[in-house]
C-alpha cells in the first residue's frame, strides 16, 4: 500500500494544510499486519523565498512503528517554486498486532529562515490494520511488496502535476 | 507615666468631714495619698499548681479619711490587649475607713486552697491573666474606651503586671505566678511606678474585717524572731535572730533584746547581739542574733523581750524544735524499699560524692555493688541552701537529713535526703565507685518501668547510646530564642527506636482505674533521659539518631523517671546525627498536599483583628527569622507543595507575609514564582492560633474557601453548651490544573483538633476534654461525609492531636475515619460509621518505623495526619514526613539559615496522582543546545498538543549526529494537554565539531504509543 500526498508551501500554506489533514483523517489507510505502509509526498514550494525543512515530530499509536525519512529523502531546502518528491515516512505494522484502527500524526517543522522551527504541516492519519489475506511467502515478502510499491509510486509520480493528494493504493 | 497630680484629679470619692477636721487640726497623718488603691493582685487562682483557688484583687484606703466608692468597677485587659475584656461591677456603695482593706475574688477554680479570708465580694467574673495583664480600678461601671487610656478621669488606679504588659504606671509590676501575688510593699507611699511599688510575694489577702493599717499613725516597737534551722538535733546549735521594727514618733533608740533560753538549757536572760558577733551577720541592721547550743529535746516557744530607751517594749517568740539525733544508717538501708522505710524520718548516712548539681549532690555507698538489687546511692537535695565547699566529687561526706520521696505522684519516684541537713567531711579525693554498665540487654523494651530503679543515685556507664530526640531547651517567646537545657532521650545502641503504641500509658495514673478492656501502653521503659549540663558540663545539642560513646554519669529519678546526669569531666564522644532530607520531588503527574503545624506563629504587631487574645507580639528580628526559616523549609525541604494546610498561624497577615516570602525567595533563588495565595479565617482559640491554607495558584485553582463550625457548640461535662471548635476546620474547594483540560477537583480540609492536655484529668475538666475530643471527631466525620456523599475527592490534613490509633481515652482518629475501636476498649464511647465508606489515614500505609511527626518524651509518634476518601488511595498515593522539627535540637529555632525546628511538629506531604484526561495525544519535541566542557547539552522539551493526557512519557533515546545522549531513558511522567516537560541530556564531543551541521533525533514512548522528532541543528561553540 502506498499513498502519495502533494503539499504546497507558500504564504498561504496553513490553508492548504488544513484541507489536507481533514481529508487524511477521514480516510483510513489499509495496512497489512506484518508489513509496512509508506507515505510518499510531493512537497511544493509555490512561492518565494526558499523553504527550509528543519525538523519533524510524530506521535503514533502502539504497536505501530514510524520510521522518519524526512532527512533521508529530502534536501534541507526547497527552492522557491520547486517541487520535490519522496517518501516522508513509513509505518511498520508488527506481526502479531491486533487488527483495528490506529492513529498517527506527523509534523514537518521549518520555515523561511535557516533556524525556523514552525509547524509547517500536520499529517494526521489513520491506519486500518488488517491481517494478510493469505500466508505471506517467507523469502520474498519484502521484495514483492517493494516491487509493488515501486510500481505504484511510479504511476502516481506520473500524475503528480494533477493530484494534490493521493489516496491509498 | 501617670503623675501624682493626675491621680488626684481622678478622685471621685466622697471625703468625710473627718478629713476636713484632720487637715485643720494638723494631725500627724502623712496625707500624701488621697484615693483608694489596688494593693494586691493574685491572678492564677484555681490554675494547676495554684496555692489559692481564686483570683483576687485587694483594695486599700491609704488615706486618713473614710472614703466612699460609688458605682466602682474593676476592669481588666490582657497583657497586650488594646481593649478592656472584662468589667467587674462592684457593689453600688463601698465605704472604707482609713487603713481598711476590701477584697474582691473570682469564682473558685478546682486547684488551690480557699482564700484565707472571706472575700467581701466573691464569685465575680474576674479572670486575670496568670502572669501578665492590666487591671484598672475605675470610678464608673462604664467600660473604658481603651485599655491604656490613663488620662481617662474615671481611672482611679491602674496596674499593668508581667513583662509583656503593654501599659502600666511606670514600669509593669513583676509577673505573679501560681504561688505569688503582686503585693504593694508599702501601701502608704504611692509613687505611680508599679514596677517599684509591687513585689511578687506570697499571697496574703485582707478583707474589710482585717486589722486596718492606718498610714501615717505612730507605730509601736515590734519584733519577730526565728531560729535557723528551726528544727535541730540536740547537741547542735541554731542561730536565733530577732528582727526589730523601730517604733516611730519618736523613733526608737537604744534597743536591747533578750531571750529566755532556759528551756533549752541556756540563760533565762540571754542577750542577742547586733554587732556582728555571736552569729550576727550584719552589725547595726536591727536584726539581733545569738548562736545557741541546744540540749533539751522537744518543741519550744522561746520568749523574747525587746526594749528601747523610750521605755517601749515589744515581745516575740522563737519557735524551735529540738529533736533526738537521728540514727546512722547506710545508703543501702535507706534505699532498701520504695518508699524508704526511713521516709519522713531524719537519718545520718555517709558515702562518696559522685555528682554535684546546683540544688544537691549524689552520695554513693563506698561499698556499692555493681549488680545491686536495690539502689546504692541517694540524692541529697539542698535546694537553694548553699552547700559546704567540700561537697565535691570524691569527697566522703556524712549527711544528716530527712528522708523523703519525690515526686510523690510518680510510679518511679526518687528517694532523697532533704533538709534540714548537716554535713560533715570525712575525707577527700576518694576513689569513685565503679559505674554499673548498662548494656542493650539490660535496656529492655519489655523490661517494665522499674528496670532501672535499682541503679538510683549510682554511677552508671553506657558504651554506646543512640538518641531518640533532639536536645530540649527553654523558650523566650518574645524573642523566639531557645536556651538549651542539655537534656535529651535515647536508648542503648542496638535497641530499636521506641514508638507510641495504642492505649493509656501505664505511667499515666491521673485518671484512676480504667475499664478493664482499655489497652495499656508500657510507656516505652527502654527510654533513658540524659542531662548533659546538670553536673556542669557544656550542653550537648544534638538530633535524634546521634551516637554517644563512652558515657558515664549518675542515675537520677528526681523527675519521676530514669535520667542519667553526665559526668562533667568524662564527656562522651558524639558522632552521627541527622541531616535534612528533602521530600521526594513530585512527578509531573502528581499533585502534593502538605500539612504544617507551625507552632504559635505570631508576628511583631499588636494586631487589631484578635482583641483579647494572648497572641504574643514577638520582636521584628524574631518574626523575620521565623519567616525565613519557614520559607526555606517549604521551598527546599517540602519542594513547594501545591496546597499547604497550615495550623497555629496568628492571622491572615502572618500567612500573607509567609506567602510573599516564599514567592520572593523562590524567584530570588532562580525559580519561577509559585504565586502562593494565603487563606485564613480567625476562629475561637484565645491564643490566636488558626487554621489556614497556602495555595500555589500556578498549579491550583481555588474555587472557594469556607470556615466550618465557628459557632458550633457541644455539651460539656457539666451539661452546659460550650464552643466546640477552638480552631475551626477550614475547607478549600480547589481544582488541580491539567493544562488545557478541565481541572481535577479536590476538597481539602485543614484541621487542628483539641490537644491531649488534661485527657487523663479525673475531674470535670478532664471529662470535658474527652467529650470535646469525641465531639470534634464526630463533627469532622460528618463534615467529610457531606462532601464524600456528594462524590467529592476529600483530603484532610492537619494536627489531629491524635495517634493513628486509640489513646484509650478517646478514639478520635477512629471516629473521624468511621471505624473506631469497640466501645469497651475506650473510656469515651465512640460513634461509628459517620464516614461511610470509611476514610483512610495515609500514615497507616507507611512502615511502622516511618510513622512519626512528633516526639514526646523520647517516644516517636504521629499527631499530624492526612486522612482521605478511599477514591484517592490508588497504589501510587504516598505520604512522606519531613523530619525537620521533632528530631532536632530546639536551639535551632535561633538560626534563620536553618530550616529545622521551626515548630515541634514535622510537616507531612501527601502525593496524589492527577487522573489522566481522555483524548488524543500529540507529542512534539524541541531542543535547545549549548556547548559544555565535555561536549554538548540539550534542554529537550516534550509538549503535548493533543486533547488527552500522555501518560508515563519516557524519552528513550536521543542521538546527536551519531552520539548517544545520557542519562536515558528519562521518565517524564504524565504530560497533560497543553503542558510540557523538559529534561536535560548531555552528549559527548564526538557528536561533531562546534559549528558543524547535524541532526538531533529523539524517540520515546508513552502509554499506548510512541513519539519522536528529528531536528536539524548547528552544534554550538563554547563561549
Question: Which three cell numbers mark B584?
Answer: 521526594
Write the residue in A56, A61, A115 that is nearest to B1013 by C-beta.
Answer: A56
Residue B9 has pLDDT above 90, yes or no: no
For position B888, what pLDDT does the model report?
98
Question: Which three cell numbers mark B857?
Answer: 518524651
Residue A119 sits at the chain B interface (C-beta within 8 Å): yes
Return the residue of A nearest to B1007 by Cα.
A62
Residue A66 sits at the chain B interface (C-beta within 8 Å): yes
Could you report the per-residue pLDDT of B599-616, keeping only the tens digit for each? Answer: 999 999 987 777 778 899
For position B1, what pLDDT does the model report?
29
For position B486, what pLDDT does the model report?
98
Closest-CA distance of chain B to residue A28, Å: 16
Instruction: Find the angle CA(A82)-CA(A83)-CA(A84) to the nearest 5 degrees.
Output: 120
Residue B584 has pLDDT above 80, yes or no: yes
Question: Which three cell numbers mark B487?
Answer: 537534656
Number of continuous H segments (helices) and E segments (strands) in chain B? 8, 61
Closest-CA distance of chain B to residue A159, Å: 30
Question: Which three cell numbers mark B1006?
Answer: 508513552
CB B298: neighbour CB atoms within 10 A?
12
Burial letters B881-913, b for 16+ CB under 10 A, else e: bbbbbbbbbbbbbbeeebbbbbbbbbbbbbbbb
For position A21, what pLDDT does the model report?
35
Return the residue of A nearest to B924 by Cα.
A57
Rounded-to-integer distance, Cα B263 and Cα B297, Å:
9
Percent above pLDDT 70 for chain B: 97
| Chain A positions in Cβ-Cβ contact with residue B1014 (cut-off 8 Å) | 55-56, 68, 70-71
| Chain B positions in Cβ-Cβ contact with residue A75 (cut-off 8 Å) | none
Return the residue of A nearest to B923 by Cα.
A59
CB A66 within 8 A of CB A89: yes
- Identify any residues that bridge with B925 across adjacent strands, giving them in sequence order: B942
Task: Give the torsion sign (CA, A40, A44, A50, A55).
Answer: negative
Closest-CA distance of chain A to residue B601, Å: 52
The beta strands (E) that lie in chain A are given as: 5-9, 29-32, 36-45, 51-61, 65-68, 77-78, 83-92, 100-111, 118-130
Could you report the per-residue pLDDT of A69-96, keeping only the tens digit for each? Answer: 999 899 999 999 899 999 999 999 999 9
Contact call for A71 and B920, based on CB within 8 A: no
The residue among A59, A70, A127 with the most chain B CBs within 10 A of its CB, best to mutate, is A59
The DSSP annotation for B124-145 comes to E-----SS-EEEEEESSSSPPS
pLDDT tier at A165, thresholds 50, 70, 90:
very low
The helix (run of H) or strand (run of E) holding residue A146 is helix A141-158
ipTM value > 0.90: no
Return the residue of A nearest to B921 by Cα.
A59
Distance of CA B686 to the CA centre of its chain: 16
Q: What is the pTM of this model?
A: 0.68
Peptide bond into B967 cis (omega under 30): yes
CB pairs A-B closer than 8 Å = 53
Rounded-to-integer distance, Cα B683 and Cα B562, Å:
41
Rounded-to-integer distance, Cα B455 and Cα B554, Å:
9
| Chain B positions in Cβ-Cβ contact with residue A61 (cut-off 8 Å) | 1008-1009
Could you report the per-residue pLDDT of B875-932, keeping only the tens digit for each? Answer: 778 999 999 999 999 999 999 999 999 999 999 999 999 988 999 999 999 999 999 9
Write the residue in B920, B1005, B1014 that is nearest to A55 by C-beta.
Answer: B1014
| Chain B positions in Cβ-Cβ contact with residue A55 (cut-off 8 Å) | 1013-1016
Rounded-to-integer distance, Cα B157 and Cα B2, Å:
10
The residue among B925, B944, B995, B1009 with the most chain A CBs within 10 A of its CB, best to mutate, is B1009
Rounded-to-integer distance, Cα B940 and Cα B931, Å:
14
Residue B923 sits at the chain A interface (C-beta within 8 Å): yes
**Termini Cα distance of chain A:** 5
Closest-CA distance of chain B to residue A3, Å: 22
Residue B1014 sits at the chain A interface (C-beta within 8 Å): yes
Write the residue in A71, A115, A119 that is nearest to B1014 by C-beta.
Answer: A71
Rounded-to-10 torsion of CA B815, B820, B826, B827: 20
Residue A65 sits at the chain B interface (C-beta within 8 Å): yes
Return the residue of B nearest to A122 by Cα.
B922
CB B527 within 8 A of CB B489: yes
Could you report the per-residue pLDDT of B523-536, keeping only the tens digit for each? Answer: 999 999 999 999 99
Amino acid at each position: 500500500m502506498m499513498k502519495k500526498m502533494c503539499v504546497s508551501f507558500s504564504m498561504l500554506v496553513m490553508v492548504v494544510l488544513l484541507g489536507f489533514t481533514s481529508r487524511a483523517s477521514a480516510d483510513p489507510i489499509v495496512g497489512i499486519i506484518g508489513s509496512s505502509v509508506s507515505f510518499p509526498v510531493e512537497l511544493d514550494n509555490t512561492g518565494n523565498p526558499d523553504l527550509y525543512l528543519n525538523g519533524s515530530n510524530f506521535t503514533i499509536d502502539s504497536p505501530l512503528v514510524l520510521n522518519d525519512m524526512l532527512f533521508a529523502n529530502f534536501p534541507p531546502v526547497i527552492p522557491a517554486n520547486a517541487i520535490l518528491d519522496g517518501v516522508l515516512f513509513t509505518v511498520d505494522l508488527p506481526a502479531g498486532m491486533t487488527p483495528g484502527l490506529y492513529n498517527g500524526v506527523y509534523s514537518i517543522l521549518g520555515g523561511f529562515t535557516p533556524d525556523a522551527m514552525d509547524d509547517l504541516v500536520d499529517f494526521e492519519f489513520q491506519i486500518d490494520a488488517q491481517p494478510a489475506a493469505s500466508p505471506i511467502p517467507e523469502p520474498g515478502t519484502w521484495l514483492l511488496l517493494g516491487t509493488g510499491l515501486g510500481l505504484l509510486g511510479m504511476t502516481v509520480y506520473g500524475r503528480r502535476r494533477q493530484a494534490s493528494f493521493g489516496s491509498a493504493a | 507615666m501617670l503623675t501624682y497630680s493626675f491621680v488626684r484629679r481622678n478622685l471621685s470619692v466622697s471625703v468625710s468631714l473627718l478629713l476636713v477636721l484632720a487637715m485643720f487640726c494638723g494631725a500627724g497623718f502623712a496625707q500624701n495619698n488621697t484615693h483608694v488603691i489596688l494593693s494586691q493582685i493574685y491572678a492564677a487562682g484555681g490554675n494547676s499548681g495554684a496555692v489559692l483557688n481564686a483570683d483576687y484583687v485587694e483594695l486599700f484606703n491609704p488615706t486618713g479619711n473614710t472614703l466612699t466608692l460609688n458605682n466602682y468597677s474593676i476592669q481588666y485587659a490582657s497583657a497586650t490587649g488594646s481593649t478592656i475584656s472584662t468589667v467587674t461591677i462592684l457593689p453600688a456603695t463601698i465605704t472604707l475607713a482609713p487603713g481598711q482593706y476590701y477584697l474582691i475574688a473570682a469564682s473558685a477554680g478546682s486547684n488551690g486552697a480557699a482564700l484565707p479570708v472571706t472575700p467581701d465580694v466573691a464569685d465575680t467574673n474576674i479572670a486575670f491573666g496568670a502572669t501578665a495583664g492590666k487591671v484598672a480600678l475605675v470610678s464608673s461601671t462604664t467600660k473604658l474606651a481603651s485599655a491604656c487610656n490613663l488620662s481617662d478621669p474615671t481611672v482611679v488606679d491602674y496596674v499593668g503586671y508581667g513583662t509583656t504588659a503593654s501599659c502600666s504606671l511606670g514600669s509593669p509590676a513583676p509577673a505573679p505566678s501560681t504561688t505569688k501575688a503582686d503585693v504593694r510593699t508599702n501601701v502608704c507611699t504611692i509613687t505611680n511606678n508599679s514596677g517599684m511599688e509591687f513585689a511578687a510575694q506570697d499571697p496574703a489577702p485582707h478583707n474589710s474585717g482585717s486589722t486596718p493599717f492606718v498610714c501615717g499613725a505612730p507605730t509601736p516597737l515590734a519584733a519577730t524572731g526565728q531560729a535557723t534551722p528551726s528544727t535541730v538535733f540536740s547537741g547542735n546549735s541554731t542561730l536565733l535572730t530577732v528582727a526589730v521594727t523601730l517604733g516611730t514618733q519618736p523613733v526608737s533608740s537604744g534597743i536591747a533584746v533578750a531571750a529566755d533560753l532556759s528551756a533549752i538549757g541556756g540563760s533565762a536572760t540571754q542577750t542577742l547581739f547586733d554587732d556582728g558577733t555571736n552569729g550576727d551577720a550584719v552589725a547595726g541592721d536591727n536584726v539581733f542574733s545569738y548562736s545557741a547550743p541546744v540540749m533539751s529535746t522537744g518543741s519550744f516557744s522561746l520568749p523574747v523581750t525587746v526594749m528601747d530607751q523610750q521605755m517601749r517594749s515589744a515581745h516575740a517568740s522563737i519557735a524551735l524544735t529540738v529533736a533526738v539525733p537521728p540514727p546512722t544508717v547506710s545508703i543501702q538501708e535507706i534505699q532498701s524499699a520504695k518508699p524508704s522505710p526511713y521516709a519522713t524520718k531524719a537519718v545520718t548516712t555517709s558515702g562518696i560524692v559522685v555528682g554535684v548539681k546546683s540544688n544537691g549532690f549524689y552520695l554513693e555507698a563506698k561499698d556499692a555493688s555493681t549488680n545491686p538489687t536495690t539502689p546504692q546511692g541517694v540524692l541529697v537535695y539542698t535546694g537553694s541552701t548553699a552547700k559546704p565547699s567540700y561537697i565535691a566529687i570524691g569527697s566522703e561526706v556524712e549527711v544528716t537529713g530527712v528522708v523523703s520521696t519525690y515526686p510523690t505522684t510518680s510510679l518511679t519516684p526518687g528517694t532523697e535526703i532533704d533538709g534540714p541537713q548537716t554535713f560533715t567531711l570525712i575525707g577527700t579525693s576518694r576513689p569513685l565507685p565503679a559505674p554499673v554498665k548498662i548494656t542493650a540487654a539490660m535496656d529492655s523494651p519489655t523490661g517494665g518501668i522499674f528496670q532501672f530503679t535499682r541503679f538510683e543515685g549510682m554511677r552508671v556507664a553506657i558504651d554506646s547510646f543512640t538518641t531518640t530526640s533532639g536536645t530540649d531547651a527553654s523558650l523566650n517567646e518574645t524573642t523566639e530564642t531557645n536556651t538549651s537545657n542539655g537534656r535529651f532521650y535515647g536508648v542503648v545502641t542496638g535497641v530499636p527506636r521506641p514508638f507510641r503504641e495504642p492505649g493509656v500509658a501505664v505511667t499515666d495514673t491521673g485518671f484512676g482505674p480504667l475499664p478493664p478492656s482499655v489497652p495499656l501502653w508500657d510507656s516505652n521503659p527502654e527510654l533513658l533521659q540524659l542531662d548533659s549540663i546538670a553536673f556542669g558540663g557544656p550542653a550537648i545539642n544534638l538530633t535524634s539518631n546521634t551516637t554517644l560513646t563512652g558515657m558515664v554519669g549518675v542515675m537520677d529519678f528526681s523527675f519521676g523517671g530514669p535520667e542519667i546526669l553526665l559526668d562533667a569531666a568524662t564527656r562522651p564522644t558524639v558522632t552521627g546525627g541527622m541531616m535534612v532530607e528533602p521530600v521526594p520531588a513530585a512527578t509531573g503527574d502528581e499533585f502534593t498536599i502538605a500539612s504544617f503545624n507551625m507552632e504559635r506563629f505570631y508576628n511583631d504587631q499588636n494586631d487589631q483583628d484578635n482583641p483579647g487574645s494572648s497572641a504574643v507580639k514577638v520582636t521584628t528580628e524574631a518574626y523575620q527569622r521565623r519567616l525565613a526559616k519557614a520559607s526555606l523549609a517549604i521551598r527546599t525541604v517540602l519542594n513547594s507543595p501545591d496546597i499547604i494546610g497550615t495550623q497555629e498561624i496568628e492571622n491572615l497577615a502572618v500567612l500573607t507575609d509567609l506567602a510573599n516570602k516564599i514567592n520572593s525567595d523562590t524567584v530570588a533563588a532562580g525559580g519561577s514564582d509559585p504565586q502562593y495565595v494565603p487563606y485564613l479565617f480567625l476562629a475561637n482559640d484565645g491564643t490566636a492560633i488558626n487554621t489556614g491554607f497556602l495555595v500555589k495558584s500556578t498549579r491550583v485553582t481555588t474555587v472557594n474557601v469556607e470556615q466550618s463550625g465557628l459557632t458550633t457548640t457541644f455539651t460539656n461535662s457539666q451539661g452546659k453548651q460550650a464552643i466546640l471548635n477552638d480552631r475551626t476546620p477550614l475547607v478549600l474547594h480547589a481544582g488541580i490544573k491539567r493544562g488545557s483540560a478541565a481541572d481535577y477537583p479536590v476538597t481539602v480540609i485543614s484541621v487542628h483538633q483539641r490537644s491531649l492536655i488534661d485527657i487523663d484529668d479525673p475531674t470535670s475538666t478532664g471529662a470535658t476534654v474527652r467529650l470535646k475530643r469525641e465531639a470534634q471527631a464526630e463533627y469532622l466525620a460528618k463534615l467529610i461525609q457531606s462532601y464524600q456523599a456528594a462524590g467529592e475527592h476529600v483530603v484532610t490534613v492537619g494536627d489531629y492531636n491524635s495517634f493513628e490509633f486509640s489513646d484509650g481515652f478517646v478514639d478520635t482518629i477512629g471516629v473521624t475515619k468511621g471505624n473506631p475501636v469497640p466501645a469497651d476498649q475506650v473510656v469515651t464511647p465512640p460513634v461509628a460509621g459517620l464516614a461511610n465508606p470509611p476514610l483512610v489515614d495515609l500514615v497507616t500505609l507507611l512502615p511502622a518505623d516511618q510513622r512519626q511527626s512528633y516526639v514526646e518524651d523520647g517516644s516517636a509518634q504521629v499527631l499530624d495526619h492526612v486522612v482521605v476518601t478511599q477514591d484517592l488511595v490508588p497504589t501510587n498515593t504516598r505520604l512522606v514526613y519531613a523530619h525537620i522539627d521533632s528530631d532536632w535540637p530546639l536551639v535551632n529555632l535561633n538560626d534563620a539559615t536553618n530550616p529545622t525546628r521551626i515548630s515541634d511538629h514535622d510537616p507531612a506531604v501527601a502525593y496524589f496522582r492527577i487522573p489522566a484526561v481522555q483524548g488524543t495525544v500529540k507529542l512534539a519535541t524541541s531542543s535547545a543546545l549549548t556547548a559544555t566542557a565535555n561536549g554538548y547539552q540539550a534542554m529537550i522539551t516534550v509538549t503535548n498538543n493533543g486533547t488527552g493526557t500522555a501518560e508515563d512519557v519516557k524519552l528513550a533515546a536521543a542521538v546527536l549526529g551519531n552520539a548517544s545522549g545520557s542519562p536515558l531513558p528519562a521518565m517524564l511522567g504524565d504530560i497533560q494537554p497543553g503542558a510540557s516537560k523538559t529534561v536535560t541530556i548531555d552528549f559527548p564531543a564526538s557528536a561533531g565539531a562546534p559549528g558543524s551541521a547535524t541532526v538531533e533525533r529523539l524517540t520515546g514512548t508513552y502509554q499506548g504509543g510512541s513519539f519522536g522528532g528529528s531536528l536539524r541543528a548547528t552544534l554550538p561553540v563554547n563561549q
